[in-house]
Structure 1
Amino acid sequence: MIVIRKYFFLLSTLLLCHTTINSQDIELSEKYKKEVISTLSKLMNDRYVFPDVAKKTEEHLKKQFDKKHFDQFVTNESFAEALTKSVQSINNDKHMKIMSQPPYEQPSMTPERLIEEKIYNLKRKKEYNAGFNNVKVLEGNIGYLDLRGFTYYKEGKIIADAYMKLISNTDAVIIDLSKNGGGDPDMVKYLCSYFFKGGVHLNSLYFREGNKTIDFYTLDKVDGTKMIDVPLFVITSKRTFSGAEEFSYNMQTQKRATLVGQTTGGGANPGGTNPINEFLSVFIPTGKAINPITKTNWEGVGVVPEIKVSSDESLNKTHELAKTAADQYRKKLKEFYTNTFINLLSKLENYDEVNSEKNILTTLKDCKEKGIIEEWEINALGYQYLMEHKKSKIAMCIFKANTILHPESANGFDSYAEALMELGNYDKSIKNYKKAVELATADNSPDLSVYQENLKKALQKK
C-alpha cells in the first residue's frame, strides 16, 4: 500500500505540474514577472549590440514593474506583447521582440514533448518551403518569384537553385519581398549572387561579441544560370524586414534593381533567439549592418523604393515596368548577338595560315563565355564550312577550337578528325578518332559504335 500511495502521490503531482506548466491562460504571479524581467535584462546587457541602450531599457522595465504596469497582463501572450512594447519604446529596435512559445500539450523535458516539438517543427518546415512560396513566368516573359523568407543557406540553396532555374530564360525578373520577414544573411548573399559577377561587396555585419566584422561578397559561381544583365525589380512593403531589407538595400545601393512598393520595416540589426524561461523567448540583436557604399544601414528608417505605390498596385505596376524593360533588353540583346556573330563570321571569311586558328579560337571562346553558342552549334558551324562552303581549313579550325573549348566531347574530336582526314592529315586524324572512341567508351555513349566505325574506316584509308 505504501508503494501504491507513493505512486499515486507522484502521479498526482506530475499531473498537477503538467496542468500548471502547460497552461498559457493562468494568471502570472508578481514573482514570475520579476524573474522574467531580471532574466531578460541580463540577456540584453550581455548580448545586445548597444550595451548602453540595453542598460536604459533595463531601467525602464524595472520602473514599469515597480509602477505595477505589468499587473494587468495575465497570460504569457499578453505579457510578452507588453514587454515588447516596453523595450521597443526605449531602443526603437523592431528586431527585439519577446515571444511566447507554442502551446505544447506534453510536459517539458519528456520524450513525448520532444516528439511533439519535432512534429511541429517538421510541419512548419514543409509548409515554409525555405521561404519560396511561388514562381511563374508572367506575360512578356517576365520571371516572378514570391519569396517569403531567407532560410538557412544549407537548407535553402538547393530549393533556390530549383526555383531560379524555372525563370532562367526570362527577359526580366520580379522578386516579391512584400511578405518577407528576413532570415539568413548567407542565403541573402547567395540569391544576390545570381544577379552579380563574383567579388561584389554587398554588406558587412558588425557583432558586439568578439568585436568582429564579417564581410559579404557575391560568389563567382552559383549552381544555376547567372542573370547579371537581366532587368531586375524588387517589390517591397512595410512587412519587408531584416534580411529582405538587406537584399533590397544591396540591390538599390549597387544600382542593380528598381524597387517598387512601400518603405520597408526598418530592421537592420541581426541577432538570434534566446530562451527566457520555458514559455518565453526573446530575439536579441547582437550586431548591426554596415553597407560598403552608404557606410550606414536602414535601421529605423527602412528602405525607400524608387517607385512608391500602394500594396494593391505593386504587382501590376512592377509588371508594367518589367515588360518595358524586357523589350529594351531584347533589343539590346539582338544588337549584341548581331555584332558578335558579324565579328565571328569576319574571322571565318578567309583562311590565314598564321592567324586563323588563334583568331577563330579566341572568337568562339568569347561567344561561349557570353553564353550565345554551345558545343553542338560550333560543331554544326564547322560542318557548314566543311560541306556547304567547301572551306576545309576553316572547318578544321572551328572543329579544333571546339575540342579545346569542350575537351570531354567525343563528338567534337570525331568531327575534328573528319576535317583532318579531308585535308589528308591521316596520322593526326586517326589520333583524334581514337580520342573520340576513348571519350565515348568512358562516357558509355550510345554513339560509341559510330565512332569505332569511323576509326576503322580511317585506319583502312591509311
Structure 2
Amino acid sequence: MTTLTTFQPAPVIDETVRLLTEHYVFPEVAEQLTGLLHGRLAEGAYDVGDAEELARLVTEDLQSVNGDRHLRLKHHVDPVPPKRGAATLDAMRRDFDTSLGGAPRVELLDGAIAVVELAPMLFPLEWAAEPLSAALTLASRARALIIDLRANRGGDPDTVAFVSSYLLDERTHLNTMHWRGGERSEQSWSLPHVPGARFGGSKPVYVLSGSSSFSAAEELAYDLQQLGRAVVVGEPTRGGAHPCQGWTVHPHLEATIPVGRAVNPVSGTNWEGGGVQPDVPCPAADALDRAHALALARLAG
C-alpha cells in the first residue's frame, strides 16, 4: 500500500483542484470546492497514512457541496496508467472478459418470459455490440422481457441507446447531454436499425433496479420509464446522472470529474441525487419474482 511517506497530499489536491476548475460541469460548484479542499489541506485534514484514506476523505469533501456521486478521488491498488481514463478502461476490460461481454445471464422463465441480466456494466459499444445483440436477439421471441440492472454500475450512453433500440419500434429521442458552458449539447436517439431481431415496442418490458444500479444503468431505466415503455421494479437507484471522465493525479489515485449533465426530453430533468424511483417498489432481492408475477398477470389479462 502506498503511504504518504512516498508522496505529499498537496500536489494531489492542487492537481485535483486544477482539473475541477477546468472541467467540472458546474463551475460555481468547482469554485466552492477549490476553497474547501485548500482549506482542508491547510488545516491538516489530509495528513493521513495512506493513499486509500486520502481518497476517502477527499471524496467525502468533493461530494459534500452538491452530492454529486460521480465526483470522486478514486483509489487503485495497482498503479494507475498516466494516460487519462486508462485505469478505468483496464478495469472495464477485465470485467468485460469475465461477464460474457456484459450479458452474463439469459434465461427463459415460465410463461415464455425472458430475463436478460446486464452486468456489471454497459460496456463501450465497440466492445459490447456483439454480445448484447446476441442476448437481445435470443430474447426477442419471448412474450415479455425482464431486464435485470440490479448489479449494473453504469457505463456507456451509446450502449444505453443500443439496448433501447431493441425495445422500440421507431427512432426515439432518449436523452440530451449538456456539456460545460451550455454552448454545446448532444442528443441521444435510438437506432433506426439494429443487428439481429428486435423485441419490439409493444410486448411487456420490466426493468429490475436496486441501490447498486448507477449512472448509465439508471439512464436506461429512466429513459424507458419516462417513455412509458417499461415498468421499473425494485429499489430506488443510487442517483448519478452526470457523465464523467477520469484523470490520473498520483500513481494510485484517479480523479473522476463530471463534464456534462443529462436532461430527459419527457421529464425535462434527470435522476441525479434522488435516483430512479421504481413503479413497483420492493426489496431488490424480490424484484425478479415480482416482475415475473406482474408479467404473467398481464399476459393472462
Specify if TM > 0.5: yes
8 Å CA contact 2:102–2:132 kept in 1: the answer is no
Out of 46, 50, 56, which is 2:26 matched to? 50
What residue number does 1:297 align with?
Answer: 270
1:224-235 mapped onto 2 (5 Å cutoff): 224-226=196-198, 227-235=200-208
Q: Corresponding residue for 1:102?
A: 77
Is 1:26 aligned with 2:28?
no
Bigger RCO of structures 1 and 2 (CA < 8 A, at least 6 apart):
2
Note closer, same or farther for the CA distance 1:218–1:124 as it changes in structure 2 (3 Å cut). closer
Confirm whether residue 41 of structure 1 aligns to residue 13 of structure 2. no
Do the aligned partners of residues 145 and 118 (structure 1) sit closer, same or farther apart at CA in structure 2, a change above 3 Å counting? closer
Asked if the contact 2:226–2:266 (Cα under 8 Å) also holds between the matched residues in 1, the reply is yes
| Distance apart, 1:313 and its partner CA | 1.5
Match of 2:39 in 1: 63
One-letter amino acid of the counterpart of residue 283, structure 1: T
Structure-2 separation of matches of 1:296 and 1:60 = 28
* Cα root mean square deviation, aligned: 2.2
Residue matched to 1:282: 255
Number of residue pairs the alignment of both structures matches = 295
Q: Is 1:223 aligned to 2:199, yes or no?
A: no
Between the aligned partners of 1:118 and 1:139, the Cα distance in structure 2 is 38
Q: Distance in 2 between matches of 1:263 and 1:58?
A: 31
Query: Which letter maps to 1:133?
Result: P
Shift of 1:28: 4.2
Question: For residue 185 of structure 2, what is the aligned residue in structure 1?
Answer: 213
Higher fraction of helix:
1
Match among 46, 50, 54 for residue 75 of structure 1: 50
Mapped contact 2:63–2:69 kept (Cα < 8 A): yes
Task: Measure the CA separation in 2 of the matches of 1:280 and 1:286.
Answer: 19
Aligned 1:71-220 pairs, distance under 5 A? 71=47, 73-104=48-79, 123-148=94-119, 149-208=121-180, 211-220=183-192
Residue of structure 2 equivalent to 1:396: none
2:299 & 2:92 partners in 1: Cα distance? 41
Larger strand percent: 2
How far off is 1:210 after superposition?
A: 7.8
Q: CA deviation at 1:323?
A: 1.5
Q: Secondary structure at the match of 1:125?
A: helix
By how many angstroms is 1:152 displaced?
A: 0.6
* C-alpha separation in 1, matches of 2:164 and 2:128: 14
When residues 125 and 249 of structure 1 are mapped into structure 2, their CA distance, relative to the original with a 3 A threshold, is closer
CA distance in 2, matches of 1:326, 1:48: 47
Q: Secondary structure at the match of 1:229?
A: coil
TM-score w.r.t. length of structure 2: 0.92
1:18 maps to none
Aligned-residue offset at 1:271:
1.6
2:268 aligned counterpart, secondary structure? coil
Q: Is 1:319–2:292 an aligned residue pair?
A: yes
Deviates more, 1:59-68 or 1:253-262: 59-68
CA distances 1:361-398 after superposition (whole Å, capped 9, x unpaired): xxxxxxxxxxxxxxxxxxxxxxxxxxxxxxxxxxxxxx
Q: Is the 8 A contact 2:96 2:123 kept in 1?
A: no
Counterpart of 1:256 in structure 2: which amino acid? Answer: R
The offset of 1:319, in angstroms, is: 1.0
Q: What is the CA deviation profile of residues 278-327 of structure 1, one whole-angstrom value per residue up to 9, with x for unaligned ones?
A: 22111110000011111111111111011100122111111111112233
Structure 1 residue matching 2:55: 3-state secondary structure: helix
**For residues 18-60 of structure 1, what are the alpha-carbon distances to aligned partners after superposition, in whole Å with 9 as ceiling and x for unaligned?**
xxxxxx243347x720110000000001000001101101111
CA distance in 2, matches of 1:98, 1:170: 43
5+ residue gaps in structure 1?
1-23, 329-462
> Once the 2 structures are TM-superposed, how far is the Cα of residue 93 of structure 1 from its aligned partner?
0.3
Any conservation in 1 of the 2:111–2:296 contact (CA below 8 Å)? Answer: yes
Contact 1:203–1:215 at 8 Å: present in 2 too? yes
Mapped to 2, the partners of 1:27 and 1:274 lie a distance apart of: 20
Partners of 1:119 and 1:221 in 2: how far apart? 30
Shift in CA distance, 179/139, structure 1 to aligned 2, threshold 3 Å = same
Residue 121 of structure 1: CA displacement? 7.0
Give the direction of change, closer, same or farther, for the CA distance of 1:236–1:124 in structure 2 (3 Å limit).
closer
**Partner Cα separation in structure 1 for residue 252 and residue 150 of structure 2:** 30
